[in-house]
C-alpha cells in the first residue's frame, strides 16, 4: 500500500529534524525516516560539540562570517543545551602553522570577532617556543543529549510524524510526476508517494542515490577519532584550540561529563572518496558498514603527547575512551578549510534534495534555500 506525504525527510540527525520543523512551519506535513533506533545518534552526536563563533576558520572568510552571524541565533534557539561554564582560549602555533598571530588578529578584526589577550596565568601554561600568542574568546559548547530531547519535544509538539528503524532504500519516478520512496522497516516494506524527498543522511548521502540509480555526489569520508579525556586540575574549565595546522583542540563534551581532544593529524584515521567524475566514478560503499568493519585502535596517547608539547599540563590528562565517527566533507572545501552546506537539487529527479552541513550550527542558511524551491513562507 502506498502512503502519501507532503515531504519525506530521510535521516533523523539534527539537520533532518530542523528541516522537518521548518517544513511543518510552512504548512507541509513532513515524515522523518531514521535508520537508527533514535534521533541524533551519529555525527550529530559524535562531534566536538562546539558552537562556532568564527574563530575556528581563520582561512575561510565566508564560513567565519556565517558562524558569527549564526552564533547568537543558535544561543537563542537552544538556551537549555548551551554550556558556557568554561573559558575558551585560542592559540597560534609557531611551527608548521598556516596562520601567524598577526594574520589571525587581522582576520578576526575583519570578521568582527573580538580577541582578548589571555591573562598571564593562562598564557604561562603554554610552551613559548611553540606557541606564538594566546587569546581569550567567547565560544560555547552544546549538550548533544539535551539538544536531542529539545528537538524531539518540538517535533512532537508540532505533530511531525517520525519513524525509527525505517530505512529509505530506493526512489523512483511515478507516472504522475511524483516520486515513490521504498522504505524497509522492521515490520516489512512501505511505500511513500511524495513530491519532495530531503536526503539529510550526511555520510549516507549517496546510499539512496546509489540504490535509485542516480549519479553519486563527490564526497570525502574520514574515519575519525576524538579522545574523551579528563583534563588535569590546572586545566579544569579551560577549553583550548591551537590554530591552524596539525594541532589539537580541547572542548567540553557535556553529555558525558568529559572533554573531547581532537587533533588534526591523529583524528582522521583514514579517508576514502566516492563519486566525482574526474577520476572515473569511484565505486560506492556504505560508509557506516565500512565504519563498523574498520579496526578502531586508539591514537589517544599520540594526541595527548603532542598536545603536551604545546600545553605541558596536558601530559597529566587521562583518557577515558574515544568517540569514533565517519566525518564527511565536500572535496572542494578541503583547500580553504571552509564548511559550506550542500543543498543539492537533483537535476533529473527534481523533487530530491540532498542536504548536508559540516557543522551543526549552520542550519540558518537553510530557509532561504527552501524559499528558492518555492517552499518559503
Strands 2-4 and 188-194, sheet pairing: parallel
Least distance (Å) between residue 266 CB and other proteins: 9
Pick the closer one to other proteins by CB: 246 or 367.
246
Pick the closer one to other proteins by CB: 96 or 109.
96
**Identified binder of other proteins from the candidate list 301, 332, 334, 348, rule CB under 8 A:** 301
Residue 194 contacts residue 4 (beta carbons within 8 Å) = yes
Least distance (Å) between residue 306 CB and other proteins: 4
Pick the closer one to other proteins by CB: 101 or 179.
101
154 is an interface residue for other proteins by CB under 8 A? no
Least distance (Å) between residue 265 CB and other proteins: 6
Pick the closer one to other proteins by CB: 160 or 250.
250
Q: Mask: binding to other proteins, 174-213, rule CB under 8 A, as x and -?
A: ----------------------------------------
302 is an interface residue for other proteins by CB under 8 A? yes
**Identified binder of other proteins from the candidate list 154, 211, 269, 344, rule CB under 8 A:** 269
290 is an interface residue for other proteins by CB under 8 A? yes
Residues contacting 375, CB < 8 A, separation 6+:
23, 26, 28, 196
Tell me which stretch binds other proteins (CB under 8 A): 186-194, 263-271, 322-330, 358-366. 263-271
Residue with cell 597560534: 92
Provide DSSP, 238-284. EEEEEESSS-EEEEEEGGGTEEEEEETTTSEEEEEEE--STT-PPPP
Residue 21 contacts residue 161 (beta carbons within 8 Å) = no
**Cα-based distances in Å from 350 to 37, 177, 191, 289:** 30, 10, 19, 29
Q: What's the rounded Cα separation, in Å, for the pair 312 and 113?
A: 28
Pick the closer one to other proteins by CB: 74 or 126.
126
Site for other proteins, residues 120 to 139, rule: CB under 8 A: 127, 129-130
Give the count of residues interacting with other proteins (CB under 8 A). Answer: 24
- The region, left, alpha or beta by phi > 0 then psi within -120 to 50, assigned to residue 283 is beta
Pick the closer one to other proteins by CB: 215 or 245.
245
Q: What cell numbers appear for 112 in the block?
A: 568582527
Q: What's the rounded Cα separation, in Å, for the pair 199 and 152?
A: 19
Alpha helix segments (H runs only) across 124-241: 144-158, 205-211
Q: What cell numbers appear for 171 in the block?
A: 526512489
Beta bridge partners of 161: 31
Q: What's the rounded Cα separation, in Å, for the pair 15 and 47?
A: 14
Site for other proteins, residues 307 to 336, rule: CB under 8 A: 309
Pick the closer one to other proteins by CB: 220 or 359.
220
**Identified binder of other proteins from the candidate list 95, 109, 371, 372, rule CB under 8 A:** 95
**Identified binder of other proteins from the candidate list 1, 175, 295, 335, rule CB under 8 A:** 295
Tell me which stretch binds other proteins (CB under 8 A): 60-68, 170-178, 286-294, 320-328. 286-294
3-class DSSP state of 341? coil
Site for other proteins, residues 207 to 226, rule: CB under 8 A: 223
Q: Which residues bind other proteins (CB under 8 A)?
A: 94-96, 127, 129-130, 223, 245-246, 265, 269-272, 290, 293-295, 299, 301-302, 305-306, 309
Amino acid at each position: 500500500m502506498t502512503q502519501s506525504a507532503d515531504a519525506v525527510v530521510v535521516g533523523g540527525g539534527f539537520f533532518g529534524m530542523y528541516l522537518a520543523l521548518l517544513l511543518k512551519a510552512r504548512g507541509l506535513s513532513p515524515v522523518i525516516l531514521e535508520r537508527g533506533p533514535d534521533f541524533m545518534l551519529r555525527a550529530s552526536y559524535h562531534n566536538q560539540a562546539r558552537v562556532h563563533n568564527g574563530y575556528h576558520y581563520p582561512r575561510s572568510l565566508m564560513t567565519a562570517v556565517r558562524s558569527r552571524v549564526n552564533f547568537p541565533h543558535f544561543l537563542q534557539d537552544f538556551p537549555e543545551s548551551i554550556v558556557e561554564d568554561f573559558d575558551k582560549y585560542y592559540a597560534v602555533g609557531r611551527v608548521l602553522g598556516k596562520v601567524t598571530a598577526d594574520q589571525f588578529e587581522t582576520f578576526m578584526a575583519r570578521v568582527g570577532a573580538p580577541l582578548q589577550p589571555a591573562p598571564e596565568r593562562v598564557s604561562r601554561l603554554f610552551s613559548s617556543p611553540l606557541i606564538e600568542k594566546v587569546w581569550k574568546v567567547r565560544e560555547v559548547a552544546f549538550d548533544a543529549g539535551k539538544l536531542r530531547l529539545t528537538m524531539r519535544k518540538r517535533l512532537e509538539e508540532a505533530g511531525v510524524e517520525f519513524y525509527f528503524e525505517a530505512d529509505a532504500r530506493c526512489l523512483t519516478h511515478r507516472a504522475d510526476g511524483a516520486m515513490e520512496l521504498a522504505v524497509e522497516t522492521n515490520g516489512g516494506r512501505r511505500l511513500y508517494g511524495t513530491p519532495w524527498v530531503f536526503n539529510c543522511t550526511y555520510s549516507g548521502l549517496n546510499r539512496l542515490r546509489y540504490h535509485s540509480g542516480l549519479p553519486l555526489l563527490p564526497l570525502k569520508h574520514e574515519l575519525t577519532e576524538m579522545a574523551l579525556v579528563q583534563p588535569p586540575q590546572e586545566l579544569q574549565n579551560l577549553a583550548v584550540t591551537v590554530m591552524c595546522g596539525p594541532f589539537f583542540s580541547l572542548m567540553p563534551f557535556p553529555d558525558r561529563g568529559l572533554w573531547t581532544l581532537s587533533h588534526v593529524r591523529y583524528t582522521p584515521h583514514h579517508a576514502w572518496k566516492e563519486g566525482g567524475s574526474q577520476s572515473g566514478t569511484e565505486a560506492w560503499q556504505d560508509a557506516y558498514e565500512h565504519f563498523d568493519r574498520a579496526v578502531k585502535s586508539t591514537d589517544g596517547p599520540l594526541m595527548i603527547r603532542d598536545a603536551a608539547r604545546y600545553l605541558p599540563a596536558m601530559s597529566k590528562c587521562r583518557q577515558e575512551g574515544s568517540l569514533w565517527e565517519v566525518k564527511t566533507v565536500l572535496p572542494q572545501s578541503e583547500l580553504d578549510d571552509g564548511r559550506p552546506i550542500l543543498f543539492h537539487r537533483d537535476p533529473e529527479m527534481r523533487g530530491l534534495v540532498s542536504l548536508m552541513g559540516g557543522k551543526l550550527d549552520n542550519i540558518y542558511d537553510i530557509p532561504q534555500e527552501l524559499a528558492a524551491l518555492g517552499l518559503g513562507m
